[in-house]
Structure 1
Amino acid sequence: MGRKNIRMQKPLKGYQRKLQKKRESKVFEDPKLALFLRGGKTSETIVEVMRDLARVKKPFSRMLARRNEIRPMEAGGEASLEFLCNKNDAALFAVGSHSKKRPNNLVLGRVFDEKALDILELGVEDFVGIDEAARHLPRGMGTMRVGSKPLLVFNGDQWEHGGEVMLRLRNLLLDFFSGADCKTVAMSGFDHVIMCTAVGKDAALAANPVNGAGPSGISLETGLGQRVKLRHYHVELSRDRSQLATAAPKVELQPLGCSMDLVVRRSRIAPIELWRASLRQAKQARPRKIKNISRDDMGNKRGRVHLQKQNLDNLQVKKMKALGNSRTKAAEAAAAAGEEPAAKRVR
Structure 2
Amino acid sequence: MLRTIKPKNARSKRALQAREPKEVEDPRTVIFVKGTHAGEKVNAAMKELMALKRPHAISFSKKNAVRPFEDAASLEFWSQKNDASMFVVGQSTKKRPDGLTFVRMFDHRVLDMCEVGVEGWKSMNEFKTSKATPGHKPLLHFASELFDTHPRFVQLKSMLMDFFNGEVVDGLHLAGIEHVVSISLGPTPPGLNAATTTLQASSSTAPAPETLPKVHIRAYTIRLLASGTRVPRVELTPMGPSLDLTLRRHKEADGELLKQALRRPKLQKQAVEKGLGKKRKNIEVDEMGDLRGRIHVGKQDLGKLQTRKMKGLKPERDAMLVDDEDDGGELDGSGSDGDGAGGGARQRKRVRAA
User: Cα distance, 1:220 vs. partner?
Assistant: 11
**1:150-161, aligned counterparts within 5 Å?**
150-161=138-149
* Matches of 2:164 and 2:204, distance apart in 1: 25
Given the alignment, which residue of 153, 156, 165 partners 2:152? Answer: 165
With over 3 angstroms needed to count, the CA separation of the structure-2 counterparts of 1:220 and 1:81, relative to structure 1, is: farther
* Matches of 2:204 and 2:64, distance apart in 1: 24
Q: TM-score, normalised by structure 1?
A: 0.67
User: Cα distance, 1:223 vs. partner?
Assistant: 6.8
Corresponding residue of 1:321 = none
Task: Decide which structure has greater helix share.
Answer: 2
**1:133-282, aligned counterparts within 5 Å?**
133-134=127-128, 137=129, 142-162=130-150, 164-199=151-186, 224-225=209-210, 226=212, 227-240=214-227, 243-244=228-229, 246=230, 248-282=231-265
User: Cα distance, 1:165 vs. partner?
Assistant: 2.1
Corresponding residue of 2:315 = none
SS of alignment partner, residue 23 of structure 2:
coil
Corresponding residue of 1:325 = none
Q: CA offsets, 1:82-120, max 9 Å, x none? A: 111211111111001112221110000210011100110
* Matches of 2:5 and 2:261, distance apart in 1: 32
RMSD: 2.7
Are 1:31 and 2:27 matched, yes or no?
A: yes
User: Cα distance, 1:20 vs. partner?
Assistant: 2.5
* Matches of 1:267 and 1:125, distance apart in 2: 18
With over 3 angstroms needed to count, the CA separation of the structure-2 counterparts of 1:219 and 1:93, relative to structure 1, is: farther
Counterpart contact for 2:24–2:168, Cα < 8 Å: no
Counterpart contact for 1:97–1:105, Cα < 8 Å: yes
Q: CA offsets, 1:39-85, max 9 Å, x none? A: 111111111111111111111111111111110012xx111111112
Are 1:63 and 2:50 matched, yes or no?
A: no
Are 1:99 and 2:93 matched, yes or no?
A: yes
User: Cα distance, 1:258 vs. partner?
Assistant: 1.4
Q: How many pairs are equivalent? A: 252
Q: CA offsets, 1:2-47, max 9 Å, x none? A: xxxxxxx995433653443222222221111111111111111111
Identical columns (%): 33
**What amino acid sits opposite 1:232 in the alignment?**
A
* Matches of 2:97 and 2:178, distance apart in 1: 32
SS of alignment partner, residue 258 of structure 1:
strand
* Matches of 1:224 and 1:31, distance apart in 2: 31
Are 1:88 and 2:75 matched, yes or no?
A: no
Corresponding residue of 1:120 = 114
* Matches of 2:140 and 2:17, distance apart in 1: 33
SS of alignment partner, residue 68 of structure 2:
coil
User: Cα distance, 1:273 vs. partner?
Assistant: 2.6
Corresponding residue of 2:8 = 13
With over 3 angstroms needed to count, the CA separation of the structure-2 counterparts of 1:28 and 1:159, relative to structure 1, is: closer
Structure with max Cα Rg: 2
Q: Where does the alignment leave 5 or more consecutive residues of structure 2 unmatched?
A: 191-202, 270-354
SS of alignment partner, residue 240 of structure 2:
coil
Corresponding residue of 1:335 = none
**What amino acid sits opposite 1:157 in the alignment?**
E
Counterpart contact for 1:166–1:223, Cα < 8 Å: no
* Matches of 2:127 and 2:179, distance apart in 1: 14
Q: CA offsets, 1:181-223, max 9 Å, x none? A: 11111111111111111336689xxxxxxxxxxxxxx999567
SS of alignment partner, residue 168 of structure 2:
coil
